Structure 1
Amino acid sequence: MSIADDSGPEPGSDEMIAAEYVLGVLPAAERQAATRRIEAEPDFARLVDQWEARLSPMAAAYPAAEPPASVKAAIDGRLFAGNRVQARGVSWWSSLALWRGLAIASLAALALYIAVPYLSPQAEVSAERYVASLAPTGSDVHYFVVYDARSQDVGLSHVTGARPEGRDFELWVIERSNPPQSLGVIPVGQSVHLDVADAVRNKIEAGAQLAISLEPAGGSPTGQPTGPVVAAGDLNSI
Protein backbone atom coordinates (compact mmCIF):
# COMPACT_ATOMS: atom_id res chain seq x y z
CA MET A 1 0.00 0.00 0.00
CA SER A 2 1.38 3.43 -0.90
CA ILE A 3 0.44 6.64 0.84
CA ALA A 4 0.62 10.19 -0.47
CA ASP A 5 -0.43 13.12 1.69
CA ASP A 6 -1.25 15.91 -0.78
CA SER A 7 -3.01 18.76 0.94
CA GLY A 8 -5.61 20.63 -1.09
CA PRO A 9 -6.83 24.21 -0.59
CA GLU A 10 -7.45 25.06 3.04
CA PRO A 11 -11.08 26.00 3.85
CA GLY A 12 -11.37 29.79 4.05
CA SER A 13 -8.04 30.41 2.28
CA ASP A 14 -7.72 32.68 -0.74
CA GLU A 15 -7.07 29.55 -2.83
CA MET A 16 -10.36 28.00 -1.70
CA ILE A 17 -12.32 31.24 -2.15
CA ALA A 18 -10.95 31.65 -5.69
CA ALA A 19 -11.85 28.06 -6.56
CA GLU A 20 -15.35 28.38 -5.07
CA TYR A 21 -15.81 31.64 -7.02
CA VAL A 22 -15.01 29.88 -10.30
CA LEU A 23 -17.26 26.93 -9.41
CA GLY A 24 -20.09 29.33 -8.57
CA VAL A 25 -20.78 27.96 -5.09
CA LEU A 26 -20.09 31.07 -3.00
CA PRO A 27 -23.08 32.65 -1.22
CA ALA A 28 -24.22 35.92 -2.85
CA ALA A 29 -22.58 38.24 -0.30
CA GLU A 30 -19.26 36.37 -0.44
CA ARG A 31 -19.33 36.28 -4.22
CA GLN A 32 -19.82 40.05 -4.30
CA ALA A 33 -16.90 40.47 -1.90
CA ALA A 34 -14.75 38.22 -4.09
CA THR A 35 -15.70 40.24 -7.17
CA ARG A 36 -14.54 43.42 -5.43
CA ARG A 37 -11.27 41.70 -4.48
CA ILE A 38 -10.68 40.68 -8.11
CA GLU A 39 -10.91 44.33 -9.10
CA ALA A 40 -8.71 45.60 -6.25
CA GLU A 41 -6.19 42.79 -5.54
CA PRO A 42 -4.00 41.60 -8.45
CA ASP A 43 -2.73 38.55 -6.52
CA PHE A 44 -6.27 37.34 -5.82
CA ALA A 45 -7.29 38.05 -9.42
CA ARG A 46 -4.41 35.83 -10.59
CA LEU A 47 -5.66 33.02 -8.35
CA VAL A 48 -9.09 33.25 -9.97
CA ASP A 49 -7.53 33.24 -13.44
CA GLN A 50 -5.49 30.16 -12.54
CA TRP A 51 -8.59 28.25 -11.37
CA GLU A 52 -10.51 29.28 -14.49
CA ALA A 53 -7.63 27.97 -16.63
CA ARG A 54 -7.58 24.67 -14.67
CA LEU A 55 -11.31 24.03 -14.80
CA SER A 56 -12.28 25.36 -18.24
CA PRO A 57 -10.98 22.27 -20.14
CA MET A 58 -13.46 20.12 -18.21
CA ALA A 59 -16.38 22.28 -19.39
CA ALA A 60 -15.17 22.06 -22.98
CA ALA A 61 -15.66 18.30 -22.91
CA TYR A 62 -19.42 18.67 -22.59
CA PRO A 63 -21.54 20.17 -25.40
CA ALA A 64 -24.02 22.88 -24.47
CA ALA A 65 -27.57 21.64 -23.97
CA GLU A 66 -30.81 23.38 -23.13
CA PRO A 67 -32.74 21.40 -20.49
CA PRO A 68 -36.49 21.05 -20.99
CA ALA A 69 -38.61 23.55 -19.07
CA SER A 70 -40.14 20.63 -17.20
CA VAL A 71 -36.81 19.99 -15.44
CA LYS A 72 -36.86 23.27 -13.51
CA ALA A 73 -40.55 22.87 -12.76
CA ALA A 74 -39.93 19.40 -11.33
CA ILE A 75 -37.02 20.64 -9.20
CA ASP A 76 -39.03 23.59 -7.90
CA GLY A 77 -41.90 21.23 -7.11
CA ARG A 78 -39.68 18.96 -5.05
CA LEU A 79 -37.89 21.77 -3.22
CA PHE A 80 -40.70 24.19 -2.53
CA ALA A 81 -43.97 22.24 -2.71
CA GLY A 82 -46.26 23.29 0.10
CA ASN A 83 -43.78 25.96 1.22
CA ARG A 84 -41.94 23.27 3.17
CA VAL A 85 -38.76 25.30 3.21
CA GLN A 86 -40.46 28.31 4.83
CA ALA A 87 -42.40 26.13 7.25
CA ARG A 88 -39.27 24.45 8.49
CA GLY A 89 -37.32 27.65 8.89
CA VAL A 90 -33.63 27.27 8.11
CA SER A 91 -33.56 23.96 6.26
CA TRP A 92 -30.59 21.83 5.34
CA TRP A 93 -30.90 23.21 1.80
CA SER A 94 -29.91 26.64 3.12
CA SER A 95 -27.12 25.31 5.33
CA LEU A 96 -23.82 26.99 4.52
CA ALA A 97 -21.97 24.06 6.09
CA LEU A 98 -23.69 21.64 3.71
CA TRP A 99 -22.79 23.59 0.58
CA ARG A 100 -19.26 24.25 1.83
CA GLY A 101 -18.88 20.52 2.43
CA LEU A 102 -20.11 19.72 -1.05
CA ALA A 103 -17.80 22.38 -2.50
CA ILE A 104 -14.81 20.90 -0.68
CA ALA A 105 -15.70 17.43 -1.96
CA SER A 106 -16.03 18.80 -5.50
CA LEU A 107 -12.69 20.56 -5.26
CA ALA A 108 -11.04 17.41 -3.97
CA ALA A 109 -12.36 15.49 -6.95
CA LEU A 110 -11.30 18.23 -9.35
CA ALA A 111 -7.83 18.33 -7.82
CA LEU A 112 -7.43 14.59 -8.37
CA TYR A 113 -8.86 14.85 -11.89
CA ILE A 114 -6.51 17.69 -12.82
CA ALA A 115 -3.41 16.21 -11.18
CA VAL A 116 -3.31 12.94 -13.15
CA PRO A 117 -2.16 14.36 -16.53
CA TYR A 118 0.55 16.45 -14.86
CA LEU A 119 1.86 13.60 -12.73
CA SER A 120 2.08 11.32 -15.80
CA PRO A 121 2.49 13.71 -18.77
CA GLN A 122 3.53 10.95 -21.19
CA ALA A 123 0.52 8.76 -20.48
CA GLU A 124 -3.01 9.17 -21.72
CA VAL A 125 -5.65 9.46 -19.03
CA SER A 126 -7.49 6.18 -18.81
CA ALA A 127 -11.11 6.14 -19.81
CA GLU A 128 -11.68 3.62 -17.05
CA ARG A 129 -11.98 5.99 -14.12
CA TYR A 130 -14.65 5.94 -11.47
CA VAL A 131 -15.79 8.32 -8.76
CA ALA A 132 -17.88 7.90 -5.65
CA SER A 133 -19.06 10.26 -2.95
CA LEU A 134 -19.12 8.22 0.25
CA ALA A 135 -21.82 10.06 2.14
CA PRO A 136 -22.34 9.79 5.90
CA THR A 137 -24.37 6.83 7.17
CA GLY A 138 -25.38 7.55 10.75
CA SER A 139 -22.17 9.57 11.19
CA ASP A 140 -20.40 12.71 10.02
CA VAL A 141 -17.81 10.80 7.95
CA HIS A 142 -17.59 11.82 4.30
CA TYR A 143 -14.96 10.85 1.72
CA PHE A 144 -14.68 11.46 -2.00
CA VAL A 145 -13.08 8.61 -3.99
CA VAL A 146 -11.50 8.44 -7.45
CA TYR A 147 -10.41 5.03 -8.82
CA ASP A 148 -8.07 4.84 -11.82
CA ALA A 149 -8.29 1.38 -13.40
CA ARG A 150 -5.12 2.02 -15.42
CA SER A 151 -2.89 2.50 -12.38
CA GLN A 152 -5.07 0.45 -9.98
CA ASP A 153 -4.98 3.39 -7.60
CA VAL A 154 -7.71 4.54 -5.24
CA GLY A 155 -7.45 8.21 -4.27
CA LEU A 156 -9.44 9.31 -1.22
CA SER A 157 -10.13 12.89 -0.18
CA HIS A 158 -11.26 13.30 3.41
CA VAL A 159 -14.11 15.80 3.60
CA THR A 160 -15.48 15.49 7.15
CA GLY A 161 -15.49 13.22 10.19
CA ALA A 162 -12.74 12.14 12.59
CA ARG A 163 -11.95 8.54 13.52
CA PRO A 164 -12.12 7.74 17.25
CA GLU A 165 -8.81 7.27 19.02
CA GLY A 166 -7.55 3.71 18.68
CA ARG A 167 -9.85 2.89 15.75
CA ASP A 168 -9.37 2.83 11.98
CA PHE A 169 -11.53 3.36 8.92
CA GLU A 170 -11.49 0.48 6.43
CA LEU A 171 -12.63 0.72 2.81
CA TRP A 172 -14.71 -2.07 1.25
CA VAL A 173 -16.01 -2.80 -2.23
CA ILE A 174 -19.34 -4.62 -2.57
CA GLU A 175 -20.01 -6.19 -5.96
CA ARG A 176 -23.61 -7.21 -6.51
CA SER A 177 -24.62 -9.70 -3.80
CA ASN A 178 -21.09 -10.94 -3.11
CA PRO A 179 -19.45 -10.51 0.32
CA PRO A 180 -17.54 -7.25 0.86
CA GLN A 181 -13.89 -7.22 -0.16
CA SER A 182 -11.44 -5.06 1.76
CA LEU A 183 -9.47 -2.44 -0.15
CA GLY A 184 -7.42 -1.68 2.94
CA VAL A 185 -7.26 0.52 6.01
CA ILE A 186 -7.59 4.20 5.09
CA PRO A 187 -4.48 6.11 6.19
CA VAL A 188 -4.86 9.32 8.16
CA GLY A 189 -4.62 12.37 5.90
CA GLN A 190 -6.60 14.81 3.80
CA SER A 191 -5.62 13.16 0.50
CA VAL A 192 -4.35 9.57 0.54
CA HIS A 193 -3.96 6.68 -1.87
CA LEU A 194 -4.44 2.92 -1.73
CA ASP A 195 -3.02 0.38 -4.16
CA VAL A 196 -5.60 -2.23 -5.15
CA ALA A 197 -4.70 -5.90 -4.73
CA ASP A 198 -4.98 -8.09 -7.83
CA ALA A 199 -7.66 -10.22 -6.18
CA VAL A 200 -10.15 -7.36 -5.91
CA ARG A 201 -9.44 -5.33 -9.06
CA ASN A 202 -12.19 -7.06 -11.03
CA LYS A 203 -14.67 -6.24 -8.25
CA ILE A 204 -14.36 -2.50 -8.91
CA GLU A 205 -16.71 -1.48 -11.68
CA ALA A 206 -19.47 1.01 -12.37
CA GLY A 207 -22.40 0.25 -10.12
CA ALA A 208 -20.35 -1.41 -7.40
CA GLN A 209 -20.70 0.09 -3.95
CA LEU A 210 -17.94 1.36 -1.72
CA ALA A 211 -18.39 1.51 2.04
CA ILE A 212 -16.31 2.57 5.03
CA SER A 213 -16.56 0.71 8.32
CA LEU A 214 -15.15 1.62 11.72
CA GLU A 215 -12.72 -1.10 12.76
CA PRO A 216 -10.15 -1.86 15.48
CA ALA A 217 -6.70 -0.35 14.94
CA GLY A 218 -5.09 -2.09 11.98
CA GLY A 219 -8.36 -3.15 10.37
CA SER A 220 -10.93 -5.92 10.62
CA PRO A 221 -9.59 -9.06 12.32
CA THR A 222 -12.05 -11.29 10.43
CA GLY A 223 -11.73 -10.20 6.81
CA GLN A 224 -15.29 -8.86 6.92
CA PRO A 225 -16.66 -5.62 8.39
CA THR A 226 -17.01 -5.91 12.17
CA GLY A 227 -17.94 -2.34 13.05
CA PRO A 228 -20.66 0.04 11.89
CA VAL A 229 -20.69 1.38 8.33
CA VAL A 230 -20.07 5.11 8.63
CA ALA A 231 -20.16 6.12 4.93
CA ALA A 232 -21.17 4.55 1.62
CA GLY A 233 -21.78 5.38 -2.03
CA ASP A 234 -21.96 3.94 -5.55
CA LEU A 235 -19.15 4.05 -8.10
CA ASN A 236 -19.87 5.88 -11.32
CA SER A 237 -17.69 5.96 -14.44
CA ILE A 238 -16.33 9.26 -15.75
Structure 2
Amino acid sequence: MSLVDDIGPDAGGDDIVAAEYVLGVLPTQERATAARRIDADRGFAAMVDRWEVHFAPLAAGYAAVEAPASVKAAVDRRLFVDGSRRVAPDGGRPGLLSSLALWRGIAVAALAALALYVVLPLLAPRPAIQPPATLVASLAADGSDVRYLAVIEEPGDGIGLSHVSGLPPEGRAFELWVIAGEQPPVSLGVIPTGPAVRMVVGTDIREKIAAGAVFAISLEPPGGSPTGQPTGAVVAAGDLRKI
Protein backbone atom coordinates (compact mmCIF):
# COMPACT_ATOMS: atom_id res chain seq x y z
CA MET A 1 0.00 0.00 0.00
CA SER A 2 1.37 3.41 -0.98
CA LEU A 3 1.66 6.54 1.15
CA VAL A 4 -1.29 8.04 -0.71
CA ASP A 5 -3.44 5.00 0.18
CA ASP A 6 -2.23 5.09 3.79
CA ILE A 7 -3.24 8.72 4.24
CA GLY A 8 -6.79 8.02 3.14
CA PRO A 9 -9.48 10.65 3.49
CA ASP A 10 -7.71 12.82 6.08
CA ALA A 11 -8.03 16.38 4.75
CA GLY A 12 -4.69 17.61 6.04
CA GLY A 13 -2.90 14.59 4.58
CA ASP A 14 -4.68 14.96 1.26
CA ASP A 15 -3.68 18.60 1.09
CA ILE A 16 -0.02 17.70 1.58
CA VAL A 17 -0.24 14.97 -1.06
CA ALA A 18 -1.88 17.40 -3.48
CA ALA A 19 0.92 19.93 -2.93
CA GLU A 20 3.61 17.27 -3.40
CA TYR A 21 1.82 16.09 -6.53
CA VAL A 22 1.89 19.59 -8.01
CA LEU A 23 5.57 20.02 -7.12
CA GLY A 24 6.35 16.63 -8.67
CA VAL A 25 8.08 15.19 -5.64
CA LEU A 26 5.89 12.09 -5.13
CA PRO A 27 7.41 8.70 -5.94
CA THR A 28 6.21 7.15 -9.21
CA GLN A 29 3.65 4.76 -7.69
CA GLU A 30 2.21 7.36 -5.32
CA ARG A 31 2.04 9.87 -8.14
CA ALA A 32 0.07 7.40 -10.26
CA THR A 33 -2.33 6.80 -7.38
CA ALA A 34 -2.78 10.54 -6.91
CA ALA A 35 -3.46 10.96 -10.63
CA ARG A 36 -6.22 8.36 -10.44
CA ARG A 37 -7.72 10.15 -7.45
CA ILE A 38 -7.91 13.39 -9.48
CA ASP A 39 -10.31 11.63 -11.86
CA ALA A 40 -12.38 9.96 -9.14
CA ASP A 41 -12.33 12.42 -6.21
CA ARG A 42 -13.57 15.94 -6.93
CA GLY A 43 -12.42 17.19 -3.54
CA PHE A 44 -8.88 15.97 -4.12
CA ALA A 45 -8.92 17.38 -7.66
CA ALA A 46 -9.93 20.76 -6.22
CA MET A 47 -6.96 20.62 -3.82
CA VAL A 48 -4.64 19.94 -6.75
CA ASP A 49 -6.15 22.84 -8.69
CA ARG A 50 -5.72 25.12 -5.68
CA TRP A 51 -2.04 24.22 -5.30
CA GLU A 52 -1.45 24.72 -9.03
CA VAL A 53 -2.88 28.22 -8.71
CA HIS A 54 -0.78 28.80 -5.57
CA PHE A 55 2.47 27.84 -7.29
CA ALA A 56 1.63 29.48 -10.63
CA PRO A 57 3.16 32.90 -9.71
CA LEU A 58 6.58 31.24 -9.78
CA ALA A 59 6.33 31.32 -13.56
CA ALA A 60 5.13 34.93 -13.80
CA GLY A 61 8.61 36.35 -14.32
CA TYR A 62 9.52 34.04 -17.20
CA ALA A 63 8.45 34.28 -20.83
CA ALA A 64 6.55 31.36 -22.37
CA VAL A 65 8.68 28.98 -24.43
CA GLU A 66 7.21 26.89 -27.21
CA ALA A 67 7.70 23.17 -26.64
CA PRO A 68 9.89 21.30 -29.16
CA ALA A 69 8.16 19.32 -31.90
CA SER A 70 9.23 16.08 -30.20
CA VAL A 71 7.04 16.93 -27.21
CA LYS A 72 4.00 17.42 -29.47
CA ALA A 73 4.70 14.07 -31.13
CA ALA A 74 4.96 12.33 -27.75
CA VAL A 75 1.67 13.88 -26.63
CA ASP A 76 -0.01 12.72 -29.86
CA ARG A 77 1.26 9.18 -29.34
CA ARG A 78 -0.19 9.16 -25.84
CA LEU A 79 -3.55 10.64 -26.84
CA PHE A 80 -4.06 8.96 -30.20
CA VAL A 81 -3.50 5.53 -31.77
CA ASP A 82 -3.30 5.32 -35.57
CA GLY A 83 -4.93 8.72 -35.97
CA SER A 84 -7.96 7.92 -33.81
CA ARG A 85 -8.53 8.59 -30.12
CA ARG A 86 -7.32 5.90 -27.77
CA VAL A 87 -10.05 3.56 -26.52
CA ALA A 88 -10.64 3.40 -22.81
CA PRO A 89 -10.55 0.05 -20.99
CA ASP A 90 -14.35 -0.03 -20.76
CA GLY A 91 -14.70 0.32 -24.53
CA GLY A 92 -15.59 4.04 -24.46
CA ARG A 93 -13.50 7.09 -25.15
CA PRO A 94 -11.30 8.57 -22.41
CA GLY A 95 -13.09 11.17 -20.33
CA LEU A 96 -12.19 14.84 -20.13
CA LEU A 97 -10.63 14.34 -16.70
CA SER A 98 -8.15 11.84 -18.18
CA SER A 99 -6.97 14.48 -20.61
CA LEU A 100 -6.84 17.01 -17.78
CA ALA A 101 -4.69 14.64 -15.78
CA LEU A 102 -2.25 14.45 -18.68
CA TRP A 103 -2.03 18.21 -19.02
CA ARG A 104 -1.74 18.55 -15.26
CA GLY A 105 1.23 16.19 -15.41
CA ILE A 106 2.90 18.31 -18.10
CA ALA A 107 2.21 21.50 -16.12
CA VAL A 108 3.51 19.96 -12.90
CA ALA A 109 6.72 18.87 -14.59
CA ALA A 110 7.22 22.42 -15.88
CA LEU A 111 6.51 23.89 -12.44
CA ALA A 112 8.94 21.48 -10.78
CA ALA A 113 11.67 22.44 -13.25
CA LEU A 114 10.92 26.11 -12.69
CA ALA A 115 11.03 25.67 -8.92
CA LEU A 116 14.49 24.12 -9.20
CA TYR A 117 15.57 26.96 -11.51
CA VAL A 118 14.47 29.53 -8.94
CA VAL A 119 15.60 27.79 -5.75
CA LEU A 120 18.99 26.33 -6.71
CA PRO A 121 20.68 29.73 -7.25
CA LEU A 122 19.46 30.76 -3.79
CA LEU A 123 21.13 27.71 -2.27
CA ALA A 124 24.43 28.25 -4.07
CA PRO A 125 27.09 30.06 -2.05
CA ARG A 126 27.24 33.73 -2.91
CA PRO A 127 30.52 35.55 -3.49
CA ALA A 128 31.62 37.60 -0.52
CA ILE A 129 30.79 41.29 -0.85
CA GLN A 130 33.76 43.47 -0.14
CA PRO A 131 32.83 46.39 2.14
CA PRO A 132 33.82 49.85 0.90
CA ALA A 133 37.31 50.94 1.90
CA THR A 134 37.70 53.60 4.57
CA LEU A 135 40.67 55.94 4.81
CA VAL A 136 41.50 57.64 8.09
CA ALA A 137 44.12 60.13 9.18
CA SER A 138 44.93 61.51 12.62
CA LEU A 139 46.22 65.06 12.15
CA ALA A 140 48.55 66.46 14.82
CA ALA A 141 52.01 68.00 15.18
CA ASP A 142 54.65 68.44 17.87
CA GLY A 143 54.29 71.72 19.72
CA SER A 144 50.72 72.27 18.48
CA ASP A 145 47.43 71.70 20.25
CA VAL A 146 45.52 71.35 16.96
CA ARG A 147 44.01 67.90 16.52
CA TYR A 148 41.71 66.68 13.75
CA LEU A 149 40.49 63.26 12.70
CA ALA A 150 39.79 62.79 8.97
CA VAL A 151 37.59 59.98 7.63
CA ILE A 152 36.96 59.20 3.95
CA GLU A 153 34.56 56.52 2.73
CA GLU A 154 35.31 55.09 -0.72
CA PRO A 155 33.69 55.58 -3.11
CA GLY A 156 32.64 59.10 -2.18
CA ASP A 157 33.33 62.74 -2.78
CA GLY A 158 33.52 64.01 0.78
CA ILE A 159 35.95 64.22 3.67
CA GLY A 160 34.60 64.02 7.20
CA LEU A 161 36.58 66.07 9.72
CA SER A 162 36.18 65.85 13.49
CA HIS A 163 37.70 68.79 15.38
CA VAL A 164 39.32 67.41 18.51
CA SER A 165 41.19 70.44 19.87
CA GLY A 166 42.94 73.70 19.04
CA LEU A 167 41.70 76.95 17.51
CA PRO A 168 43.29 79.26 14.92
CA PRO A 169 44.53 82.68 16.11
CA GLU A 170 42.18 85.61 15.53
CA GLY A 171 42.15 86.64 11.88
CA ARG A 172 43.48 83.30 10.68
CA ALA A 173 41.84 80.10 9.41
CA PHE A 174 42.72 76.44 9.06
CA GLU A 175 43.27 75.28 5.48
CA LEU A 176 43.45 71.59 4.57
CA TRP A 177 46.00 70.26 2.05
CA VAL A 178 46.71 66.89 0.47
CA ILE A 179 50.22 65.86 -0.52
CA ALA A 180 50.55 62.84 -2.84
CA GLY A 181 54.09 61.49 -3.04
CA GLU A 182 56.61 64.12 -4.15
CA GLN A 183 53.94 66.36 -5.67
CA PRO A 184 53.34 69.85 -4.26
CA PRO A 185 50.48 70.32 -1.77
CA VAL A 186 46.99 70.73 -3.24
CA SER A 187 44.44 72.77 -1.32
CA LEU A 188 41.20 71.10 -0.27
CA GLY A 189 39.81 74.38 1.02
CA VAL A 190 39.41 76.28 4.25
CA ILE A 191 38.06 74.06 7.02
CA PRO A 192 34.61 75.22 8.19
CA THR A 193 34.25 75.82 11.92
CA GLY A 194 32.41 73.21 13.93
CA PRO A 195 33.00 69.99 15.86
CA ALA A 196 32.19 67.82 12.84
CA VAL A 197 32.23 69.07 9.25
CA ARG A 198 32.22 67.64 5.76
CA MET A 199 34.28 68.96 2.87
CA VAL A 200 33.35 68.05 -0.71
CA VAL A 201 36.14 67.84 -3.27
CA GLY A 202 36.20 67.49 -7.04
CA THR A 203 37.10 64.43 -9.11
CA ASP A 204 40.58 65.71 -10.00
CA ILE A 205 41.48 66.11 -6.34
CA ARG A 206 39.86 62.81 -5.29
CA GLU A 207 42.38 61.01 -7.49
CA LYS A 208 45.15 62.35 -5.25
CA ILE A 209 43.46 61.17 -2.06
CA ALA A 210 44.58 57.61 -1.52
CA ALA A 211 46.29 55.46 1.06
CA GLY A 212 49.77 56.88 1.67
CA ALA A 213 48.86 60.47 0.87
CA VAL A 214 49.40 63.07 3.58
CA PHE A 215 46.87 65.55 4.94
CA ALA A 216 48.20 68.79 6.41
CA ILE A 217 46.61 71.85 8.04
CA SER A 218 48.19 75.27 7.77
CA LEU A 219 47.32 78.69 9.16
CA GLU A 220 46.10 80.97 6.38
CA PRO A 221 44.11 84.18 5.85
CA PRO A 222 40.34 83.76 6.31
CA GLY A 223 39.78 83.28 2.56
CA GLY A 224 42.58 80.75 2.18
CA SER A 225 46.12 80.90 0.86
CA PRO A 226 46.56 83.68 -1.74
CA THR A 227 49.34 81.78 -3.54
CA GLY A 228 47.87 78.31 -3.94
CA GLN A 229 50.53 76.95 -1.59
CA PRO A 230 50.79 77.00 2.23
CA THR A 231 51.94 80.40 3.47
CA GLY A 232 51.56 79.89 7.21
CA ALA A 233 52.78 77.40 9.75
CA VAL A 234 51.71 73.77 9.43
CA VAL A 235 49.92 73.06 12.71
CA ALA A 236 48.81 69.44 12.08
CA ALA A 237 49.53 66.62 9.63
CA GLY A 238 49.01 62.89 9.23
CA ASP A 239 49.10 60.20 6.56
CA LEU A 240 45.99 58.44 5.24
CA ARG A 241 45.64 54.79 6.18
CA LYS A 242 43.15 52.23 4.91
CA ILE A 243 41.11 50.33 7.48
TM-score (norm 2): 0.45
Query: Over alpha carbons, which structure has the higher Rg?
Result: 2
* TM superposition score normalised by structure 1: 0.46
Q: Which of structures 1 and 2 has the larger relative contact order (alpha carbons within 8 angstroms, sep 6+)? A: 1
